[in-house]
Amino acid sequence: MFGYVIANLEGLTQAQKDRYKGCYCGLCRVLKQRHGFSGRLTLTYDMTFLVLLLSALYEADEERGMEVCPAHPLRKHFYWQTRYTEYAADMNVVLAYNNCRDDWQDDGSALKYWEAEALSARSAAVRARWPRQCAAIEQCMAELSAIEQAADEVISGKLLDNFPLVVWQTGSGTQSNMNSNEVIANRGNEIAGKKLLHPNDDINMSQSSNDTFPTAMHIAAVCAIEDKVIPAIDTLTATFRRLEAEHEGVVKSGRTHLQDATPISFPQEISGWRTSLERDREMLLLAVKPLKELALGGTAVGTGLNTPKGFDTTVAAEIAALTGKDFCTAQNKFHALTSKDEIVFAHGALKALAADMMKIANDVRWLASGPRDGLGEIFIPENEPGSSIMPGKVNPTQCEAVTMVAVQVMGNDVAVSMAASQGNFELNVFMPVCIYNFLQSARLLAESIVSFNDRCAVGIRANREKMEHNLHNSLMLVTALNPYIGYENAAKTAKKAYKENISLKEACVSLGFLTAERFDEVFHPENMI
């Protein structure tokens, strides 16, 4: 760890704060004396704590004084140092050199290369002065470098052939975890050209399958929702918003129970679809929050056996930095290992999205049914021939794909829920099947929504003539007459019009409820929305 320790002086007495600041200034002073002005640029809080720790553990003579600080040249600053300050200064330079080299190897930064070159000679001098300590540092850096490179190759997909395991394995995911440990260790040894790494001692260090697998589950679930599902929802939502604007003023017949109902505007109908997706989005973001708590650090049963203090919070912070997502450590590791309620909750939000997509897709294919003998109120893109025997037939394939995905997601929800219930004592033992179904649901929904958007929704157009015909042919327009002739008379009007296949106006006038002139005054379907 180099440059990771952050000073927090809260709760310290003034004397303790003064000693800390003096130690920091003393280390800076010694760095200049031993390694020149550039040596000061490598100063970190890590080595300040090292000086304080060693000076507290072992008796050492102290040196105190006042000296002008190069960062604040107008006044003198108090410094405090011991014989361990020199040691810390040397270690600071070696660690800085290795850190720069590592950064340069990672991203090819020219700046890091020249920083490493500038420290190379001084680092060599320190290695000659402290050979045993520097050898240990370099051994550790070599191990970390090999692990990092091997892990990067795993992430890139280069080593996929080395992961033959399927879902149906031990329910804790131990086999998958050990598979990863062995691949990283063996590949790391190949990179190093010698046996540096052991799968358990070096790769699985401070970890257990019981906390690494649920951690991986949560990371994967969060990334799937935030990076795939949410953007897919946003894409389709934007399309619906555009369709609302494009069809402003278009009025059509509403429908309830698959029966004619009072009028609605086409933008109002589309707004119902859009708002369903927006609400699903809100629920998914709500469900994601608990998933950002990670089990890592609980090890075998939640006690954190074999982990150094602060391991869980440090690793969670590093994962957050690597992913750009605000992961944190779970407050109760016993719950984190045995319960999968966060996964169930989040998958419930995915199921809600699936239910809404089922409804939207069904609405679209009902409205597009025909082209002559169905509702035929909208046109959808004709993507491909729809029949092997009926020429010219075009089917709503994207709608059918979405509805099949919805069915699969609903089935997956049962599997996820059942798997989550198998938390016997300190560990859930259905984790692989749980996350398998979760990720499948997220992937299928994201991909099907994008496909539905690109190959169907973007091309939806209103059949205005058919909408107008159906609107004015609807018997439920009679509802507009309720304030003038009452519910019972309006019902009689509708039934007469239906039985005799005449207009509502003709039926109402023939029954003597309104004159033709009065009917025209009060009957305006476009005002019923």
Q: What CATH number has the domain bearing residue 197? A: 1.10.275.10
Residues 108 and 14 in one domain: yes
Last residue of a domain, one of 149, 175, 205: 205
Residues 259 and 223 in one domain: yes
For residue range 34-49, what is the model confidence (pLDDT) as tens digits?
A: 888 778 888 888 888 8
Residues 438 and 522 in one domain: no
Residues 408 and 482 in one domain: no
Residues 175 and 283 in one domain: no
In single-letter form, the type of residue at position 267 comes to P
| pLDDT score, position 113 | 80
Task: Give per-residue burial for 220-248: e unless 16+ CB within 10 Å, then b.
Answer: ebbbbbbebbbebbebbbebbeebbeebe
Checking if the pLDDT of 111 tops 50, the result is yes
How confident is residue 5, by pLDDT bands cut at 50, 70 and 90?
low
How confident is residue 104, by pLDDT bands cut at 50, 70 and 90?
confident
Give the whole-number percent of the chain exceeding pLDDT 70: 99
For residue range 295-345, what is the model confidence (pLDDT) as tens digits?
A: 999 999 999 999 998 899 999 999 999 999 999 999 999 999 999 999 999
In sequence order, the 6+-apart residues with CB closer than 8 A to the CB of 43 are 24, 27, 28, 31, 92
The answer to whether residue 348 sits within a structural domain is yes
- How many angstroms separate the CA atoms of 455 and 399, rounded? 10
What's the whole-number mean pLDDT along residues 175-203?
95
For residue range 515-528, what is the model confidence (pLDDT) as tens digits?
A: 999 999 999 988 89
Least confident among 136-140, 227-231, 315-319, 464-468: 136-140
The answer to whether residue 469 sits within a structural domain is no
> What own/partner pairs with CB < 8 Å and gap ≥ 24 does 128-135 have?
129/90, 130/87, 130/90, 130/91, 130/94, 133/91, 134/94
Q: Among residues 81, 474, 70, 424, which one has the least CA distance to residue 254?
A: 474
Checking if the pLDDT of 232 tops 60, the result is yes
Domain that holds residue 350: 209-464
Tell me the sheet residues that pair with 76.
Answer: 68
How confident is residue 3, by pLDDT bands cut at 50, 70 and 90?
low
In sequence order, the 6+-apart residues with CB closer than 8 A to the CB of 325 are 222, 223, 226, 292
The answer to whether residue 17 sits within a structural domain is yes
- How many angstroms separate the CA atoms of 499 and 250, rounded? 29
More confident residue, 376 or 137: 376
- How many angstroms separate the CA atoms of 209 and 432, rounded? 12
Last residue of a domain, one of 129, 164, 183: 129
Checking if the pLDDT of 144 tops 90, the result is no
Where in the sequence numbering do the catalytic residues fall?
A: 257, 387
Residues 513 and 410 in one domain: no
Checking if the pLDDT of 282 tops 50, the result is yes
Residues 457 and 311 in one domain: yes
Least confident among 8-12, 146-150, 166-170, 459-463: 8-12
Residues 296 and 309 in one domain: yes
Domain harbouring 261, CATH code: 1.20.200.10
More confident residue, 101 or 228: 228
What's the whole-number mean pLDDT along residues 111-128?
84
The full length of the chain comes to 529
The answer to whether residue 199 sits within a structural domain is yes
| pLDDT score, position 418 | 97
Mean pLDDT across the chain: 92
| pLDDT score, position 360 | 98
Residues 201 and 284 in one domain: no
| pLDDT score, position 109 | 78
Residues 20 and 139 in one domain: no
What's the whole-number mean pLDDT along residues 215-224?
98
In sequence order, the 6+-apart residues with CB closer than 8 A to the CB of 326 are 292, 320
Residues 230 and 326 in one domain: yes
Least confident among 69-83, 321-335, 405-419: 69-83
- CA-only gyration radius of the chain, Å: 35
- How many angstroms separate the CA atoms of 95 and 42, rounded? 9
More confident residue, 228 or 372: 228
CB 419 within 8 A of CB 433: yes
In single-letter form, the type of residue at position 162 comes to N
Distances (CA, A) of 82 to 30, 54, 89, 94, 287: 10, 9, 11, 20, 53
- How many angstroms separate the CA atoms of 328 and 290, rounded? 10
Residues 304 and 437 in one domain: yes
The answer to whether residue 327 sits within a structural domain is yes
- How many angstroms separate the CA atoms of 61 and 457, rounded? 78
> What own/partner pairs with CB < 8 Å and gap ≥ 24 does 15-19 have?
18/78, 19/52, 19/80
- How many angstroms separate the CA atoms of 85 and 62, rounded? 10
The answer to whether residue 42 sits within a structural domain is yes
| pLDDT score, position 191 | 94
What's the whole-number mean pLDDT along residues 406-411?
98
Would you tell me how many other CB atoms lie within 10 Å of the CB of residue 402?
26
How confident is residue 122, by pLDDT bands cut at 50, 70 and 90?
confident
The answer to whether residue 385 sits within a structural domain is yes
| pLDDT score, position 383 | 86
Query: Would you list the DSSP string of 296-346?
Result: TT-TTTSS-TT--TTHHHHHHHHHHHHHTS--EE-S-HHHHHH--HHHHHH
Last residue of a domain, one of 98, 129, 160: 129
| pLDDT score, position 6 | 66
- How many angstroms separate the CA atoms of 178 and 175, rounded? 5
Domain harbouring 505, CATH code: 1.10.40.30
Least confident among 22-31, 170-179, 252-261: 22-31
The alpha carbon dihedral of 201, 203, 205, 208 has a sign of negative
HSE of 230, CA atoms in CB hemisphere, 13 A? 16
The number of folded domains in the chain is 4
The answer to whether residue 360 sits within a structural domain is yes
More confident residue, 375 or 424: 375
| pLDDT score, position 1 | 44
What pTM, to 2 d.p., does this model score? 0.82
- How many angstroms separate the CA atoms of 95 and 76, rounded? 29
- How many angstroms separate the CA atoms of 355 and 283, rounded? 13
211 burial (CB, 10 Å; 0-12 / 13-18 / 19+) is: buried
**What is the 3-state secondary structure of 278-302?**
HHHHHHHHHHHHHHCEECCCCCCCC
